Structure 1
Amino acid sequence: MPYEIPIDIKKEIEDIFYPMVKIRSDTNTAHEKKMEYFFMNFFEQLEYFKNNKEHYGTYPIKGDSLNRSVSWGLVKGYGADTIVLINHNDVVDIEDFKTLKDYAYSPGELEVELQKIRGKFSAEVREDLESGQYIFGRGTADMKAGASIQLSLLKRYSSTKNLKGNILFLSVPDEENISAGMRSAVELLDNLKQNFHLHYVITINSEPHQRIDKDTGIIYEGSVGKLMPFIYVRGSLSHAGKVFEGFNPVSLLALIINKTNLNLELSDSISGEASPPPTWLSIRDSKTHYDVSMPLSAYGYLSVLTLNKEPSEVLKKIKEICHEAFAELIEDMNVKYKIFAERKNKSFAMLPWEAKVVTYKELYDEAYDNYGGKFLKDYKSILEEAERKVKAGESSIADVNFYLVEEIYNYINDLAPRIVIGLAPPYYPNVSNMNIKNLEDRCKNLSRKIRDFSLESFGQPYIKENYFTGISDLSYTYIENADAVAHSLEGNMPLYGTLYSIPLDKIQNISMPCLNIGPWGKDLHKLTERVLKEDLFYKTPRILHYVISLLLEW
């Protein structure tokens, strides 16, 4: 390896890490802009970038209400081969810090305060606090540790003469929200590929890994996919004292939730790995005030993680479950209504309800069939209002889908109970090197080579997992069926192409293998978030440098 990292890499990382953690950069807030200034200031201080001003900058996220940008720096050597280093610079909020909020971004002070209340924590947290082997604080693990390692290596490579290959550093905002940063970074990658004639060898992320065995590290050669199906249930109004004259949508939504939450049929499994089963993220009804009527509608959305399923396949299964739940509830209602009628000595007649489940596209088409051009004209205004609500912070990009369904119902003549299903943003494709058909030889068996290097260098084993299940921006580094995915999203995601989009064609153009090599982190998004010092300052930078050296044939 002709380009050795310095012995004092710890000092270089510290000089980047602690100032970076100090910067508050809550996701989906104006605070994220501060990180852009940090990176630009960093690049401006380096001799390489002083002499190559066109090799770094910020790339604005189109239409972003917070005016955020992707920060990037390219160290250009000779040849086209390029390693892409990505990280995210946003962090989750600090609501759980309560009285310790003033210390959240100051690891040294926070550790002192945590020591004072260590009796409240688990044995593992107390042990880690007392060991002095971890750095506590918001963003220390997720993921300013990884970003600091990457930036310190970039600085080293920028001062290396006759560098073979290129190193492209990308730091994105919004990963903890809907990955607006990475979706824009794909466009940047496509532009840089053309402008600098780059050949992308691999994308390396440095998200923290979480261990099963404390002595065994984990490398990921892919990332789990994510879909967010939404389910809207339209009921039929009645007074609470006449429950069999109406249809309560809450009862049907509750049954659907019971049938889908943690449903293992919606969990993928491949080669001994499995995606976590789905869970519901939000449920509510349409009532805005108290009265004695049942609600007219109820809705919610759930998170479905995938290893190999496509959106259309997941929605098909969700639709089947919804229809099954609908039929079961109607049958149960009829049984109870018959008993109720007998108690009142009244004749019994089957309730009029029938199970009906449609997609958002089918509901839209029905409205168009009913009102034609008037609906199309009005729907344009409805979409504009939805966009205004999201940008004004009156609604989330997920909840605004229910506003759209409710508005479409003004053009629906059939008001019998039914279910409407669709997809809410965001969408993360599942990716894994194991699924890449023409994987370059140098990218094969990377995990085995890393394991051998780590055993030899540190006496520590690393194991491979094909998917990082924490959801990451690596999802946007590879796709081979862009047209099919686009068609699936266009038909089922109401906001696709307006408030939300994915440059699928550009992802296919820049597609490359991926890898996640990051330090050991614990309790991500929690008060006791922490990163292992040994990984941050010593092991992970050396492993990362080894992989870069291997792939660029140094």
Structure 2
Amino acid sequence: MIENNHEGIFKLMLELVSVPSISATPGEIKMARMIYGKLEELPYFKNHPDYLKLLPINNDPLERQVVFALVKAGPSVKKTIILTGHYDVVAVEGYGALKEYAFDPVEYTRRLSKEKLPEDAAKDLESGNYIFGRGVSDMKCGLAIEMALLAEAAQNPCKLSANLAFLAVPDEENNSTGMRGAVSHLMELEKELGLDYIAAINCEPSGPGAPDDDHRYIFTGTVGKIMPFFYFVGKETHVGDYFNGLNATLMASYLNIALEARSDFIDFKGSEVFSPPTCLKLKDLRDAYSVTLPERAVAYYNLLTVSKSPAQILESMKRAAAEAFSMAVDHLRKTAASYSKKSGQDIGISWQTKVITYGELEEKVCRNFPGNMSEHVKHYIASLPESLDERDKAISLVGELLKYYPDKAPMIIVGFLPPYYPHRGNLGRTEEEKNVMKAVDKVIEEARQSYGIEMKVVEYFAGITDLSYFGFQGKAEELKALSDNMPGWREIYDIPLNELAKLDIPVLNLGPSGKDDHKYTERLELSYSLNITPRLLKFAVESLAKS
């Protein structure tokens, strides 16, 4: 039986951690079944089996599932608070020789006492107030806290004046396949069960903002993430005939200068400023050695957002691409002038800047394609090796369409790659959002008065979370720039855009305290996480239920 106290949560957390639910592995399937099985043991769900569900994720090749549970406060109660989180974890290669103990936190923590650790981790280990292991912080403890609160609510459902739902999803650490798949289920369950979602609370971990920061944090939104790509088409030539060609990697290099860490592209809101754009991959697109100039190259970037829409970002990326193309041509002209002077040959550079979007490429190819292009695209994607990830498949599709594009001049194609996370903040526009902020104020006061803890409100959780998918804060048509310019949309990657545009659930992140997520020193602060976080979460839920 699940108990909502220090010992009960700790025990449940260890059980959850013991399942190596690494993203995109069968461990996620086992994890979902364990969570379902734990909840199934509760008397409430034995009496109400229809309120506990394993929901399929459409078109998921791994056949993973979303766990949904609902404790109804009464037959006519519609107000519903969602507790949510992910049950997947990242891989454990970084654990080295102790890899086999990564999912046994007690043993792993014991063995770390014999290892040389970074100073902060060694200090925490010595304190005895931390436990180490994969998933203890991100985010099996948060899940255990939520399940324990759900179990307590199930003992006396009428005590809360709102329904309490629980949603556990896979793949957050990868492409958020679970939460993207859950969006449609949430819409269907809202109608089927007569629910009115008033808030969604995640229990992702947060640590101190700085080494000397004693504050605890509560987040009222989550940062967005979008990945623009640039496909460079140059002109192939032998290296001995250099100026008759255009090296695609030259354009890519200048694009990186135009974009990497550029402050112009940093998004911010108020005093919250986020990381600049950074290149996640830059490479040429040939498979073997050759003494010809690379004709194709690709680069894609990570951009964090809190205000900009996909349409706005697409326009700014087109400008960056045009700037990069122009810089590459200027570079060649200067080099050609110097070469001409030394060689006595008259070398001219005639390349003209050309930037198009992926949507424009697809539209032009569709008009000229000798057959059914949609069917061709489906068959082409299906023929790609399963070892390719979604990004590589999308990039390969661009190359396939270029075979049918009539203009063979050098150009840069701009679009988006998966995944996409919309930013979501509390704008204070609806009653539900206002009620969430009132509950936040009460939680902060409760933390101060009952536990002597100072909490700070941060509008956007910077770590990228599935809270992004609890509604799109913009006009539905603004998402068209995303779908029109993502290669393989619906075949390679998909978000239920209509449902996302209709959902509007205010969000909160109130989680345990952890450090070094995704590192071999990932650890959980025990006293705060097991004693205080559960009480603050319960207080937040009760405050929202009364609103």
Q: Distance in 2 between matches of 1:429 and 1:10?
A: 35
1:321 corresponds in structure 2 to 320
TM-score, reference length from structure 2: 0.95
Aligned counterpart, 2:296: 297
The CA deviation at 1:393 is 2.2
Aligned position for 2:386: 393
Bigger drift between 481-490 and 285-294 goes to 481-490
Closer, same or farther: CA 331–19 of 1 in aligned 2, 3 Å: same
Cα displacement string for residues 205-229 of structure 1 (whole angstroms, at most 9, x for unaligned residues): 0000122244201111001111111
Whether the 8 Å contact between 1:219 and 1:464 is mirrored in structure 2 is: yes
Q: How far, CA to CA, are the matches of 1:313 and 1:398 in structure 2?
A: 22
Q: Is 2:335 the partner of 1:339?
A: no
State the match for 1:500 in structure 2.
493
Query: Is the contact made by 2:71 and 2:157 (CA closer than 8 Å) also made in structure 1?
Result: no
Letter in 2 for 1:385: Y
AA in 1 matched with 2:175: I
1:208 counterpart (199, 205, 214): 205
Deviation by residue 1:223-262 (Cα, 9 ceiling, x = unmatched): 1111111110001111122221211011110110122111
What is the aligned partner in structure 1 of residue 13 from structure 2?
Answer: 17
Deviation at 1:28, TM superposition (A): 1.3
| Structure 2 counterpart of 1:174 | 171
Counterpart in the other structure of 2:192? 195
- The one-letter amino acid paired with 1:312 is A
Aligned to 1:184: 181
Task: State whether structure 2 residue 58 is matched by structure 1 residue 62.
Answer: yes
- The match for 1:149 is 145
Unaligned 5+ segments in structure 2 are none
1:243 matches 2:242: yes
Equivalent-residue separation in structure 2 for 1:294 and 1:379 (angstroms): 33
With the length of structure 1 as denominator, give the TM-score of the two structures: 0.94
Q: Is the 8 A contact 2:138 2:204 kept in 1?
A: yes
Q: Equivalences for 1:254-265 in 2 at 5 Å?
A: 254-265=253-264
> For each residue in 1:168-194, what CA deviation from the matched residue of structure 2 results, as whole angstroms up to 9, or x when unmatched?
000000111111111121112112211
- Corresponding residue number in structure 2 for 1:133: 129
Q: What is the CA deviation profile of residues 15-49 of structure 1, one whole-angstrom value per residue up to 9, with x for unaligned ones?
A: 21001001000101221101111112112211111
Any conservation in 2 of the 1:433–1:439 contact (CA below 8 Å)?
no
Contact 1:203 1:514 in 2 (8 A): yes
Alignment partner, residue 522 of structure 2: 529
Match of 1:520 among 513, 525, 535: 513
Q: Which residue of 2 aligns with 1:286?
A: 285
**Structure 1 residue aligned with 2:355:** 357
- Of 410, 422, 428, the residue aligned with 1:417 is 410
Give 1:482 shift: 5.1
Q: C-alpha separation between the residues in 1 aligned to 2:28 and 2:474?
A: 33
Matches within 5 A, 1:430-441: 430-434=423-427, 436-439=429-432, 441=434
Q: Could you tell me how far apart the structure 2 residues matched to 1:440 and 1:107 are?
A: 38
Does the 8 Å contact 2:219/2:510 carry over to 1?
yes
2: distance between equivalents of 1:112 and 1:417? 59
Give deviations 1:391-439, integer Å, cap 9, x for gaps. x523111111221111111112321211001011111111001264454
1:380 equivalent in alignment to 2:375: yes
Question: Structure 1 counterpart of 2:363, which letter?
Answer: D
Paired letter, 1:281: L
Q: Distance in 2 between matches of 1:51 and 1:365?
A: 55
Q: Distance in 2 between matches of 1:334 and 1:52?
A: 75
How many Å separate the matches in 2 of 1:107 and 1:416? 58
Which of 511, 531, 537 is the equivalent residue of 1:538? Answer: 531
Distance 1:310 1:324, change over 3 A: same
Whether the 8 Å contact between 1:59 and 1:69 is mirrored in structure 2 is yes
Deviation at 1:377, TM superposition (A): 1.7
Alignment of 1:399-478 (within 5 A): 399-434=392-427, 436-439=429-432, 441-478=434-471
Q: Please give the alpha-carbon distance, in whole angstroms, between the structure 1 residues aligned to 2:316 and 2:436.
A: 35
Give the Cα separation in 2 of the matches to 1:63 and 1:385.
17
Match of 1:28 in 2: 24
SS at match of 1:218: strand
Aligned twin of 1:487 = 480
Q: How far off is 1:388 after superposition?
A: 4.4
Whole-Å separation in 2 of the counterparts to 1:161 and 1:383: 49
Aligned residue type for 1:143: M
Q: 2:95 aligned to 69, 73, 97, which one?
A: 97
In 2, the alpha carbon distance for the partners of 1:65 and 1:388 equals 15
Partner secondary structure for residue 442 of structure 2: helix
1:441 Cα deviation from its structure 2 partner = 4.3
* TM-aligned CA deviation for residue 480 of structure 1: 4.5
Amino acid at match of 1:169: F
Q: Any conservation in 2 of the 1:22–1:106 contact (CA below 8 Å)?
A: yes
**Equivalent position amino acid for 2:194 in 1:** H
Q: What is the CA distance between 1:510 and its match in structure 2?
A: 3.5
Q: 2:439–2:544: 8 Å Cα contact kept in structure 1? A: no
Encode CA deviations 1:486-506: one digit per residue, 9 max, x unaligned: 322232112223332212322
2:88 counterpart letter in structure 1: D
* Cα pair 2:179 2:469 within 8 Å, conserved: yes
| Separation in structure 1 between the aligned mates of residue 181 and residue 80 of structure 2, nearest angstrom | 19
Question: 2:158 matched to 1:162?
Answer: yes
Give the secondary-structure state (helix, strand or coil) at the position aligned to 2:415: strand
CA distance in 2, matches of 1:520, 1:201: 26
Paired position in structure 2 for 1:81? 79
Q: CA deviation at 1:511?
A: 1.6
CA contact (8 A) 1:434 1:466 kept: no
Hey, what's the Cα distance between the residues in 1 that align with 2:12 and 2:26?
22
Query: Which residue among 111, 120, 126 is the counterpart of 1:113?
Result: 111
* Distance verdict in 2 for CA 1:66–1:85, change over 3 Å: same
**Cα pair 1:192 1:198 within 8 Å, conserved:** yes
1:265-320 CA-to-partner distances (Å, cap 9, x unmatched) read 22111110012111111121111111211211000211111001000111111110
Would the aligned equivalents of 1:103 and 1:109 in 2 still touch at CA under 8 Å?
Answer: yes
**Which secondary structure state, in structure 1, belongs to the residue aligned with residue 323 of structure 2?**
helix
**Residue identity opposite 1:358 in structure 2:** I
Amino acid across the alignment from 2:177: A
Q: Distance in 2 between matches of 1:396 and 1:458?
A: 47
Q: Kindly provide the amino acid, as one letter, of the partner of residue 400 in structure 2.
A: E
Paired residue secondary structure (1:37): helix
Q: Sequence identity, in percent? A: 33
**1-side partners of 2:496 and 2:363: how far apart?**
26
Give the 3-state SS of the residue equivalent to 2:420 in structure 1.
coil
Tell me whether 234-243 or 60-69 shows the greater mean CA deviation: 234-243
1:37 aligned residue (19, 22, 33): 33
Aligned equivalent of 2:119: 123
What's the C-alpha RMSD, in Å, of the aligned pairs? 1.7
Q: In 2 relative to 1, CA 218–53 (structure 1 residues): closer, same or farther, beyond 3 Å?
A: same
